[in-house]
Amino acid sequence: MRAFLDMGGYAAYVWPSYALTLTVMVLNIIWARRLLKRSRKEALRRLAIGGTEV
């Protein structure tokens, strides 16, 4: 386990690379969901004020 974490002496480069990439992936999921949620809310708000054209 220690050998795995040590990455043959490259731990300081390997693990930050993986951490950053996974962070970017998680952020993308959060951002995409947030965009959809906000658009839904905004569309509902337009529906509440508008008629056939919102």
Closest CB to another protein among residues 2, 29: 29
Virtual torsion, Cα 41, 44, 48, 53, nearest 10 deg: 130
**Least CB distance to another protein at residue 2 (A):** 13
Compute the distance between CA of residue 42 and CA of residue 36 in angstroms, rounded to an integer: 10
Give least dist CB 29 to another protein, A: 7
Interface residue list for another protein (CB under 8 A): 4, 7-10, 13-14, 16-18, 20-21, 24-25, 27-29, 31-33, 35-40, 42-44, 46-47, 50-54
Q: Per the structure block, which two tokens stand in for 52? A: 């056939």
